[in-house]
C-alpha cells in the first residue's frame, strides 16, 4: 500500500492532499454537535460528493470521513459499537471514488485523537489506546484505504499508541500533530520534539508533519522547525485557510484561494512535500493550490 504514495512523491516531487472535512460538510448541512461519521451510512452520496470535490479540484490524496470514528469519540453519541461499520464505510466510499479516476489517487484513512488524556496526568492507558486505534485501523484497511493518516494529535504518547496499533495490522501510515502560536502542541510538544520522537519509533511512518493549528503562517514556522531539526522523512503541511472568525452565527475562515495558493508554494519551499489544507479549505482553495504547485 505504501508504494502508491512513495511512487507519486518520486515522480512528482510533491503531493497535493485535500482540504477540510468538517467545513465542507457544514456547508452541506451538517449541524454543530452532530457526528459527521454517521453520514458515511446515512448520507453516503454527500460523503462521495465531499471526496469528489477534493479530487476534481486536483488533490492526489484525500482523507476519509472517519476522524472521530474511534470508540472513545463515538461513545459520546452512544455509538461506540459502530467503529468498524462507520470506518469501513468511510473507506469504501473513498475507494470507489479513487478507483473511478484515470490518474492515481490515494485514499488516506483518517484517525483522529481519542479525546482522552494519556501519560502521568491522564486516565487512558497505552494498552487501551492501542486497542481503540487498532479497531479503527483494521476497519479502514478492510474498507480499502491505501494508507492510514493519524492527525491532529497533541501528545507523543497518543501518537506512539497509534503507531503500535497500525503496526499490529501491518499498514502504512502518516502522522501529523497540531501546533499553536507558541510553536507547541496543546500538551507541549515542539517541532524538534516531534522529529526526535518520530526518529525513535520502531514502526516508522511514510511521512509526518503538522495540520490545523492557528493559520498557514504559523504552520510554516513549524515546517521550518522540522527541517532545522533534521527531519529525514517527507514532511506534511496541512494548514488552515487563514484565521477563524465568528460571522453571523457561523465560523468563517478569512483565507482566500489566492492566499492558500501562496501558502502551498511557501510550504514546498520550506521543505514540505505533502501539502494540503485543513479547516476552512474548500475545493475552490484546492484548485488554486494545484495551479500554483503545477
96-150 tens-digit pLDDT: 999 999 999 999 999 999 999 987 778 899 999 999 999 999 999 999 999 999 9
Residue whose entry in the numeric block shows the C-alpha cell 483518517:
110
| pTM confidence score | 0.96
Alpha helices in 123-210 (DSSP H): 126-143, 156-169, 191-199
∠ Cα 7 99 93 (to 5°): 115
Q: How far apart are CA 66 and CA 94, in angstroms?
A: 11
How is the chain split among helix, strand and coil, in percent rounded to 5? 50, 15, 35
Residues 6+ apart with CB under 8 A from 256: 242, 285
235 within 8 A of 267, measured Cβ to Cβ: no
Distance of CA 232 to the CA centre of its chain: 20
Radius of gyration of the chain (CA): 17
DSSP-based three-state secondary structure for 181: coil
What local confidence, expressed as pLDDT, does residue 65 receive? 98
Question: 54-71 in b/e burial notation, b at 16+ Cβ within 10 A?
Answer: bbebbbbbbbbbbbbbbb
- In this prediction, residue 246 has a pLDDT band, given cuts at 50, 70 and 90, of confident
- The grid coordinates of residue 129 equal 489506546
60 within 8 A of 17, measured Cβ to Cβ: yes
**158-211 pLDDT, tens digit each:** 999 999 999 999 999 999 999 987 899 999 999 999 999 999 999 999 999 999
Residues 6+ apart with CB under 8 A from 135: 70, 71, 83, 84
∠ Cα 177 180 186 (to 5°): 65
- In this prediction, residue 252 has a pLDDT band, given cuts at 50, 70 and 90, of confident
159 within 8 A of 153, measured Cβ to Cβ: yes
Amino acid at each position: 500500500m505504501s508504494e502508491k504514495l512513495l511512487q507519486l512523491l518520486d515522480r512528482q516531487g510533491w503531493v497535493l492532499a485535500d482540504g477540510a472535512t468538517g467545513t465542507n460538510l457544514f456547508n452541506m448541512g451538517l449541524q454543530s454537535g452532530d457526528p459527521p461519521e454517521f453520514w458515511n451510512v446515512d448520507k453516503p452520496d454527500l460523503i462521495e460528493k465531499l471526496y469528489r470535490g477534493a479530487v476534481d479540484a486536483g488533490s492526489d490524496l484525500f482523507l476519509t470521513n472517519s476522524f472521530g470514528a474511534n470508540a472513545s469519540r463515538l461513545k459520546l453519541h452512544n455509538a461506540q459499537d459502530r467503529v468498524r461499520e462507520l470506518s469501513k464505510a468511510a473507506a469504501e466510499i473513498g475507494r470507489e471514488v479513487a478507483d473511478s479516476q484515470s490518474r492515481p489517487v490515494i485514499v488516506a484513512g483518517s484517525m483522529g485523537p481519542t479525546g482522552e488524556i494519556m501519560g502521568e496526568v491522564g486516565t487512558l492507558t497505552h494498552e487501551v489506546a492501542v486497542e481503540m486505534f487498532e479497531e479503527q485501523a483494521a476497519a479502514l484497511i478492510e474498507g480499502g484505504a491505501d494508507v492510514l493518516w493519524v492527525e491532529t494529535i497533541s501528545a507523543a504518547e497518543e501518537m506512539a499508541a497509534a503507531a503500535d496499533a497500525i503496526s499490529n495490522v501491518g499498514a502504512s501510515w502518516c502522522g501529523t500533530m497540531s501546533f499553536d502560536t507558541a510553536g507547541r502542541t496543546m500538551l507541549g510538544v515542539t517541532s524538534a520534539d516531534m522529529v526526535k520522537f518520530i526518529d525513535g519509533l520502531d514502526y516508522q511512518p511514510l511521512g509526518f508533519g503538522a495540520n490545523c493549528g492557528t493559520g498557514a503562517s504559523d504552520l510554516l514556522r513549524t515546517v521550518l522547525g522540522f527541517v532545522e531539526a533534521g527531519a529525514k522523512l517527507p514532511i506534511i503541511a496541512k494548514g488552515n485557510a487563514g484565521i477563524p472568525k465568528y460571522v453571523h452565527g457561523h465560523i468563517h475562515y478569512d483565507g482566500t484561494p489566492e492566499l492558500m495558493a501562496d501558502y502551498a508554494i511557501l510550504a514546498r519551499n520550506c521543505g514540505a512535500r505533502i501539502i494540503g489544507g485543513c479547516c476552512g479549505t474548500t475545493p475552490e482553495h484546492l484548485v488554486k493550490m494545484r495551479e500554483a504547485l503545477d
